[in-house]
Amino acid sequence: METRHELKYTKEHEWVLIEGNQLTLGITDFAQSQLGDIVFVELPEVGTLVDAHEAVGNIESVKAVSEVFCPLAGEILAINKELEDAPERVNTACYDEGWIIRFKAEESDITEADLMDEEEYLAYAKAQE
Amino acid sequence: MRYIPSGSRAVREMLQRVGVAEIDDLFVTIPEPLKIKAPLQIRPAQSEFSLRRELKAKAATYPTEAFSFLGGGVYRRFIPSAISPVVTRAEFLTSYTPYQPEISQGTLQAMFEFQTLLAELTGMDVANGSMYEGATALAEAVLMAKRIKPKRNRVLVSQGVHPEYLETLRTYLHHQNLEIAVIPLNSAGQTDFHALRQVLDENSLCSLLQVVNFFGVIEDQAAHAELTQAAGCLNIASVLEMTSLGMLEPPGSFGVDIFVGEGQSLGLPLSFGGPNLGVFACKKAYVRKMPGRLSGQTVDQEGRRAFCLTLSTREQHIRREKATSNICSNQQLCALWVSMYLSLLGRKGLKELAEMNYSKGREAKKLLAAVPGVKIRHSAAHYNEFVIELPQKALRVWEELDRRGYLAGIPLVWFDPADDQALLVNVTEVNPKEEIEALALALKEVL
Amino acid sequence: MNPGRKGLVLAEPLLFERSKSGKGGMELPEWDVETYPTEEIPPHLLRKEEAKLPELSEPEVVRHFTRLSTYNYSLDAGFYPLGSCTMKYNPKLNDWAANLEDFTEAHPYAPYRHQQGLLELLWELKEDLKEIAGMDEVCLHPAAGSHGELLGILLIRAYHQERGDTKRTQVLIPDSAHGTNPSSAAICDLTAVTLPSGPDGLIDMAALDQLMTEKVAAIMLTNPNTCGLFETRIQEVIDLVHQRGGLVYFDGANMNALVGMARPGDMGADVLHFNVHKTFSTPHGGGGPGAGPIGLKSLLADYLPRPLLAKRGEELILDYNRPKSIGRVRSFYGNIGVLIRAWTYIRSMGPDGLVQMTGQAVLNANYIKARLEQDFHAPFGQAHCMHEVLLTDRGQKASTMDFAKGLIDRGFHPPTVYFPLVVSGALLIEPTETESKLALDAFCDAMLELKAMDAETLQASPTGAFVRRVDETLAARKPILRWKEES
């Protein structure tokens, strides 16, 4: 199971990269391997305002669906349009070309958010295996 | 019992292996007070011989020899002899839903072909493998519209929609926080588009038009498309007499968003109204919001063309409460039947069949309108069905004609107590000219 | 050109690829009226381009579909142990009955006097189903099991609504339930609340106690459940739900384990559906049509959909005068062709035959369990199962999917795989009563042979089916849902 040191993680097996008040979000290697071959990613519209823990999209394999949750309240700034034609990127490069959304949040929310660092997440994911 | 292969010896051997003395011991997990103490009070088993006699006697009360002019949602069709022996082959009849594609390519290819045939016929991008029947398909179309435009809440329904469909829709929408507004018909028998224009607004979710409406009148699909499009309201079209699409411009050409229909009219027997066939099609952009099974083309490990059920994440067995529908069993065998009917009928046959139905309808209108006191209610064009107005109570006339061997249409008083002097008359390719002439004569005598 | 793919396994292109211009395979009845012009119809409403239907002669069409049929495995050809699907033999007499011309040509709007025979048959079927389920009333309208579920939940909602009990917005559904349960509840705008199973695979009473609040409209339960186990605490479950004002929906998918032995009505169920295409032997047709009549207690009868089969003196009629009805749930009156088969089946079996059916179905499942449980993990450790046995791939070299595909090469339809979801790698095996001991032994032998095989060989299976493993990922990533002419 691959993880990245610079990222924070959620209990829904998502990663976020925090750059100031902007965050990039994707799913973890653990999550993509659990789902299997991803066939479709449903993305929100840019500009959508979301609440904390709101589902903003879906990731589908042939026989499973997993919702994408936004861990913080914010506004969708960008979506990874490439996934419409190449959803397999979530399998092959979940931390890079397989990113899902970019959104903006309040800095105070970011500091208070319930996110795990790499070490905590590894322990969390191991326990679920 | 001849359907159970195990004899007493096999049963004994199996009991021994399982480690119990008798079959009842296997039911120990059922608490004693819940077990049935006395035999079921149903009739004792009958032999195949006696059952066939009884069934024949039960069936015989229906007068297949009567001259029938009944339509109203299911249509009498000439059915070629080639269909039944092939469709009822055990390989089609006794197989399950094709969840194991490697041993279900027959059903899957046939489903893919059905989807193509219906897409061609309706001019839509994608058709699914089938729904139960037309009315539930219509209700599902509105539920799907709600997934596409979740913020809109009003459903506009033409009064030309089959009354049983409208009633089904009301039931399905009862808990959906959607309101239904019925758009009346004008005196020509078409949906009143002035009235529609007045209610269309930013809250209009979808508008339903039955292309050949319940009264047999051909609606103006172009006008409906223009109005709904301008309001950003989804356009849902429905056809119950599907052979009409042999001569009418297909709904897809008018940019219809969702198409639903009753496929019984494509060569299925009447069977007292079921099983029939719900047809469901939509624009490609909406396919992931669609209910029902879909067969898709793919390849096998060796690169050969193969088919499998696809986009299954929409369905209840995966998405559960968030599924696009609760439908599981569909009407696959009926869909197969229709595929075979359309294949036999062919391109030219469909066109000719439609023209024949239209012409027979015109002939019947002419002959019945010539009966003193009888009037054709609607001035707009009909396909093969129309309303006649009588100078007296329709039920009496209908009953009298029945006694003379004519099933002379459907008394509209069944659907509207005030409309008690009208019959809905349907004529198809199975009504020879003599039957139509005889009906006109009988009607003249009865009035 | 050699038409064979493998000897007499024949290749068959799509209809549209076979189509040759100009031909037709059907003669229409004679034109005996003049050809009327279409001047009445505005030109923009007339079809401009013909629908691209195939153009084939009758023998070509017959051959096309006959060849397709040979690519299907079927119940008439062999063992089909799909769990929770009850693939029992479909008697030919039933088909004969349903295809009687006077039944197939019956128009639903013909006068009642012509329908008496058919209505009488439906009445008798209704009475038999009432007796079999221990219910007060039966409605034959639903087209399939999930349609019956929807109707049942609509009745339950109407019941609570009439009592002014509007806060009940949840339905409790065990985690082992069919997906149709939560999706049917969703159409009625009820929230599905998952009821976890206990370690014994049965409803967890403590969890039920906690979740069964005044917000719960009903519980939907399947008994025996999809693990093949009878809910032994069913009486306590139902009593608790009733005490707290909820109703009980009983999913009858597994009635083949109960008929003639115990009745959901006696257990306290308020409404249930039958899967006629399971318990009462009607064919599945590659996915349908089915029929899903519901049985119910009298407290729900007022809300039944219109029209209701009724007696007016000696005459059977369809009664539309039902002021508290929830309305219609479909056009016309049900999947009659399927219901005729069910009537014929019940009459063929009689009360004793039905008891024998249930007993043999349960014995056959237990025999498979006895033969395989040393070699395959059987969760929940109950001594006996009901009509189906749940095994898993735990401890096996290959996965459940590999076993499924390996069975195909051995000449068997695979069991239900990866369902129920409460165990990992489920193999749910339902042999039904219509299989011989010989067939059961052959199946068990095949399972044991597959277990002994190396995983790699198994993963390569099937090699003997019409196609090799099918790429379902490609199908979903790049959906091709219809044929199109190559440009």
Please state the three-class secondary structure of chain C as a single string.
CCCEEECCEECCCCHHHHCCCCCCCCCCCCCCCCCCCCCCCCHHHECCCCCCCCCCCHHHHHHHHHHHHCCECCCCCCCCCECCCCCCCCCHHHHHHHCCHHHHCCCCCCCHHHHHHHHHHHHHHHHHHHHHHCCCEEECCCCCHHHHHHHHHHHHHHHHHHCCCCCCCEEEEECCCCCHHHHHHHHCCCEEEEECECCCCCECHHHHHHHCCCCEEEEEEECCCCCCCCCCCHHHHHHHHHHCCCEEEEEECCHHHCCCCECHHHHCCCEEEECHHHHCCCCCCCCCCCCCCEEECHHHHHHCCCCEEEEECCEEEEECCCCCCCCCCCCCCCCHHHHHHHHHHHHHHHHHHHHHHHHHHHHHHHHHHHHHCCCCECHHHCCCCCCCEEEECCCCCCCHHHHHHHHHHCCCCCCEECCCCCCCCEEEECCCCCCCHHHHHHHHHHHHHHHHCCHHHHHCCCCCCCCCCECHHHHHHCCCCCCCCCC
DSSP code of residue A71: S
Query: Is any Cβ of chain A less than 8 angstroms from the Cβ of C425?
Result: no
Say if residues B159 and B184 touch (Cβ distance below 8 Å): yes
Say if residues C212 and C240 touch (Cβ distance below 8 Å): yes
Query: Is any Cβ of chain A less than 8 angstroms from the Cβ of C479?
Result: no
Residues C186, B321: C-beta atoms closer than 8 Å:
yes
Residue of A nearest to B319 (CA): A65
Counting as contact any 3 or more CB pairs under 8 A, the partners of C are A, B
Q: Contacts of residue A63 in chain B, CB cutoff 8 Å?
A: 312-313, 318
Query: Is any Cβ of chain B less than 8 angstroms from the Cβ of C268?
Result: no
Residue of A nearest to C418 (CA): A63
Query: Is any Cβ of chain B less than 8 angstroms from the Cβ of C486?
Result: no
Residue of B nearest to A61 (CA): B313
pLDDT at site C10: 83
Residue of C nearest to B64 (CA): C102
Q: Contacts of residue C473 in chain A, CB cutoff 8 Å?
A: 37, 39, 61-62
B89 pLDDT exceeds 80? yes
Q: Which of B121, B271, B333 sits opposite C288 (nearest CB)?
A: B333
pLDDT at site B102: 96
- Name the minimum distance, in Å, from the CA of B135 to any CA of chain A: 30
Tally C-beta pairs within 8 A across B and C: 701
Considering only CB atoms, which residues of chain A are within 8 Å of chain C?
Answer: 37, 39-40, 60-63, 87-88
CATH class of domain segment(s) C353-473: alpha beta
Residues in chain C: 487
- Give the residue extent of every domain in chain A: 8-107
Quickly tell me which residue has 């069949």 as its tokens: B353
Q: Of B66, B53, B29, B7, which Cα lies nearest the Cα of B438? A: B66
Interior angle at CA C215, CA C184 and CA B323, nearest 5: 25
- Name the minimum distance, in Å, from the CA of A83 to any CA of chain C: 11
Q: Of A96, A23, C14, B92, which Cα lies nearest the Cα of A10? A: A23
Q: Which of B90, B274, B298 sits opposite C472 (nearest CB)?
A: B298
**CATH topology for B67-78+346-446?**
Aspartate Aminotransferase, domain 1 (3.90.1150)
- Name the minimum distance, in Å, from the CA of A42 to any CA of chain B: 10
**CATH topology for A8-107?**
OB fold (Dihydrolipoamide Acetyltransferase, E2P) (2.40.50)
DSSP code of residue A30: H
Distance CA C132, CA C272 (A): 12
- Give the residue extent of every domain in chain B: 67-78+346-446, 83-341
Q: Contacts of residue C328 in chain B, CB cutoff 8 Å?
A: 135, 164, 167-168, 171
Neighbours of B32 (CB within 10 A): 8
Give C390-435 pLDDT, tens digit per residue: 999 999 999 999 999 999 999 999 999 999 989 999 999 999 999 9
Tokens of B306: 């193969």
Q: Of C148, C186, C158, which Cα lies nearest the Cα of C170? A: C186
pLDDT at site C9: 77
**Residue to substitute from B321, B334, B350, B433, interface C, most C β-carbons within 10 A:** B321
Counting as contact any 3 or more CB pairs under 8 A, the partners of A are B, C
- Give the residue extent of every domain in chain C: 4-69, 94-347, 353-473
Say if residues C155 and C218 touch (Cβ distance below 8 Å): no
- Give domain C94-347's CATH architecture: 3-Layer(aba) Sandwich (3.40)
Counting as contact any 3 or more CB pairs under 8 A, the partners of B are A, C
B201 pLDDT exceeds 80? yes
Please, what is the average pLDDT of chain B? 97
Q: Contacts of residue B189 in chain C, CB cutoff 8 Å?
A: none
- Higher pLDDT: A114 or B278? It is B278
Residues 345-374 of C with CB under 8 A from B: 346-357, 359-360, 362-364, 366-367, 369-371
Q: Contacts of residue C472 in chain A, CB cutoff 8 Å?
A: 62
- Name the minimum distance, in Å, from the CA of A40 to any CA of chain C: 6
Q: Of C233, C225, C229, which Cα lies nearest the Cα of C250? A: C225
Say if residues B96 and C286 touch (Cβ distance below 8 Å): yes
* For range B158-170, the mean pLDDT: 98
Residues 300-329 of B with CB under 8 A from A: 312-313, 318-319, 322
**Residue to substitute from A32, A38, A58, A62, interface C, most C β-carbons within 10 A:** A62
Distance CA B324, CA B144 (A): 7
Say if residues C394 and B41 touch (Cβ distance below 8 Å): no
Q: Contacts of residue B381 in chain C, CB cutoff 8 Å?
A: 38, 40-41
- Name the minimum distance, in Å, from the CA of B185 to any CA of chain C: 18
Say if residues C29 and B429 touch (Cβ distance below 8 Å): yes
Query: Is any Cβ of chain B less than 8 angstroms from the Cβ of A1?
Result: no
Q: Contacts of residue C476 in chain A, CB cutoff 8 Å?
A: 39-40, 60, 62
Residues A63, B288: C-beta atoms closer than 8 Å:
no
* For range B105-131, the mean pLDDT: 98
Burial call C346-372: b when 16+ CB within 10 Å, e when fewer: bbbbbbebbbbbbbbbbbbbbbbbbbb
Please, what is the average pLDDT of chain A? 94
Residues A40, C473: C-beta atoms closer than 8 Å:
no
The contacts of residue C402 (CB under 8 Å, 6+ apart) are: C455, C458, C459, C461
Distance CA B52, CA B48 (A): 6
- Name the minimum distance, in Å, from the CA of A65 to any CA of chain B: 7
Residue of A nearest to C474 (CA): A39
Distance CA C322, CA C299 (A): 15
Query: Is any Cβ of chain B less than 8 angstroms from the Cβ of C477?
Result: no
Tell me the residue type at C312: R
pLDDT at site A1: 87
B193 pLDDT exceeds 50? yes
Give me the phi and psi of B49, to 5 degrees please. -60, -50
Q: Contacts of residue B288 in chain A, CB cutoff 8 Å?
A: 40, 42
Give A20-31 pLDDT, tens digit per residue: 999 999 999 999
- For chain C (487 residues), the mean pLDDT of every run of 10, in chain order, is 66 90 91 96 96 95 97 96 96 98 96 97 98 98 97 98 96 94 94 94 96 98 95 96 98 97 98 97 97 98 96 96 96 98 98 97 98 95 92 96 96 95 95 97 97 95 94 96 84
Query: Is any Cβ of chain B less than 8 angstroms from the Cβ of A65?
Result: yes
Query: Distance from CA of residue C421 to its chain's centroid?
Result: 18
Residues B296, C111: C-beta atoms closer than 8 Å:
no
pLDDT at site C1: 46
Residues A62, C418: C-beta atoms closer than 8 Å:
no
CATH of domain B83-341: 3.40.640.10
Query: Is any Cβ of chain B less than 8 angstroms from the Cβ of A117?
Result: no
